[in-house]
Amino acid sequence: MANTPAKRLLIVDDEMDLLILLRKVLAKNCDCEVSIVQSGLEAVNLFKSWKPDVILTDIVMPDMDGLQLLDKVSTLDTTISVVVMTAYGTIEMAVTALKNGAYDFMEKPFDNRKISQVILRAFERTQLLRENLQLHKELEKSDRPTEFVGQSRPLRQAIELLTRLGQSDATVLIRGESGTGKEVAARTIHKMSNRGKRKMVTVNCPALPEQILESELFGYAKGAFTGADHDKDGLFLEAAGSTILLDEIADIPVSLQTKLLRVLQEKEIQPLGQTSTVKVDVRVLASTNQDLEEKMAKGEFREDLFYRLNVMTVTMPSLHEMREDIPLLALNFLKKYAQEYQRQGMEISQEALQCLMHREWKGNVRELQNLINRAVLLTSSNIITPSNLLSPEELAEGTSSRGGIEVPAFVHKLSYKEAKEEVITHFSSSYLKTALTQNNGNVSAAARASGMERQAFQRLLRRCHIQSHDFREHSS
């Protein structure tokens, strides 16, 4: 039995000859399964048993017109892309359809190539909407046990190990590249432990000078040094009964490593200026993005401390290893920053997601988070495209020239097909903006200057997410 095509197109028109012609052309050019009906009511009835991805419908029809059908379809499935067909005298109705949620409109008579292109883009839009909807459903799952977002095997294995380690009281060394979520891993271990109801104490080891770090960790007695006019408990005492995370422990000075070793061996500390020791009940977690074995070989890290810390080890996967999680992570950060900056309704285009999938991520998840943060804050439209995902370094590079054509530098990280589409989009956007600027935002004048029909020019503006009013000079 032959496989059913993944894409489904429903064509609605009261002219049977036109339906037969469109079915033949679009089934071949768009590689899709096509059903045809002669009225809006038939379309609604068929919809219940045969779910289309795209609907191509006439506007003027008996019993239920195209606008009523659009309204009905929108209540049944918001992801279906509807393209309306218009004859002479129904352009105003087509504009109304666009305002009511139609994806595009085509004027009769048709150019087979153009209508095929519109339907193919409509299929792509439906796919993007459904993928985003699925991602949103994944994010809304209430049974996620940790702060981690993703479903890749390396991440699931790491979370499983972190969960098991949470059931013990062992010292854990968390390793991984910068930006892989080592602090989140520590919080996961702490949350899963019987100490989880107490606050975890985090120490950023590189941020404090040696003398201050020692007093912060172990505390001090009154008179221990100039300015010590009272006793002070250190962070180990503050974390009593709970967990302490020594973040980036590789940067702790060798002189302090000996005192830290005593805490791990004897479970006691000696505050500065005090001769007696104090017992502490603290679970120690440590993290590093450095090569501790190399530091030991150079005499910069004590071997005995390493083996005390390395009772249990977790290595957090890089974003390269969990690349399949990038769309889910990107949408998670989009949701977070859209809410923070009050920019609800923002989406990431399929091309932008593909661009993210092909990037190198030296800064891992943190770099991805920063990139989405910047895109949400700075993107003028509600759709994030690949050009909105340029890093400051890439923006500084500007564009690169190949064969005399200016193209964005990032496209050379994409596949040929994706790069070609992005270059065309980049050119179209640049051309349209220039035309609007030169004609003070007047769409009709810009279309004439470009040698295009006004409706075609408007369709390009919509596809490039450009608002003509942004190019009008406002008088004071």
Give me the phi and psi of 166, to 5 degrees please.
Answer: -65, -25
Same-domain status, 117 and 218: no
Domain-embedded: residue 399: yes
Radius of gyration of the chain (CA): 31
Nearest to 105 by CA among 475, 463, 441, 390: 463
Nearest to 270 by CA among 210, 224, 207: 224
Q: What sign has the CA pseudo-torsion 121, 126, 127, 128? A: positive
pLDDT tens-digit map of 425-464:
777 887 888 888 888 888 888 888 888 888 888 888 887 7
Give me the phi and psi of 168, to 5 degrees please.
Answer: -105, -175
Same-domain status, 180 and 249: yes
Look at residue 412 in the predicted model and tell me its pLDDT: 63
pLDDT tens-digit map of 367-421:
999 999 999 998 888 888 887 887 666 655 554 444 444 555 566 666 666 677 7
Tokens of 374: 């910047």
Same-domain status, 36 and 133: yes
Q: Global pTM? A: 0.62
Domain extent at residue 341:
323-471
Same-domain status, 301 and 331: no
The Cα–Cα gap between 329 and 324 comes to 10
Same-domain status, 212 and 356: no
Same-domain status, 134 and 164: no
pLDDT tens-digit map of 296-330:
999 999 999 999 999 899 999 999 999 989 988 99
Q: How many domains does the chain have?
A: 3
Last residue of one domain, picked from the residues 139, 171, 200: 139
Tokens 């985003």 sit on residue: 132
CATH number, domain with residue 131: 3.40.50.2300
Centroid of chain to Cα 284: 33
The Cα–Cα gap between 243 and 201 comes to 6
What are the pLDDT tens digits along the chain (476 aa)? 445 457 899 999 999 999 999 999 999 989 899 999 999 999 999 988 899 999 999 988 888 888 899 999 988 888 899 999 887 666 777 778 888 888 888 888 888 888 998 898 889 888 877 877 776 676 565 455 678 888 889 999 999 999 999 999 999 999 999 999 999 999 999 999 999 999 999 999 988 888 788 888 988 888 777 777 788 888 999 999 999 999 999 999 888 998 899 899 989 988 888 888 889 999 999 999 999 999 999 999 999 999 999 989 999 999 999 998 998 899 889 989 999 999 888 888 777 887 888 888 989 999 999 999 999 998 888 888 887 887 666 655 554 444 444 555 566 666 666 677 777 777 788 788 888 888 888 888 888 888 888 888 888 888 777 888 778 764 33
Domain-embedded: residue 1: no
Last residue of one domain, picked from the residues 116, 139, 162: 139
CB 418 within 8 A of CB 425: no
Please classify residue 262 by burial: count the beta carbons closer than 10 Å to its beta carbon, then call 0-12 exposed, 13-18 middle and 19+ buried: middle
| Identity of residue 255 | S
CATH number, domain with residue 435: 1.10.8.60
CB 331 within 8 A of CB 139: yes
- Reduced to 3 states, what is the DSSP secondary structure of residue 384? strand
The Cα–Cα gap between 11 and 33 comes to 11
Name 319's Cβ contacts closer than 8 Å, sequence gap at least 6: 179, 180, 325, 326, 361, 364, 365, 367, 368
Domain-embedded: residue 148: no
The Cα–Cα gap between 253 and 268 comes to 20
Same-domain status, 200 and 274: yes
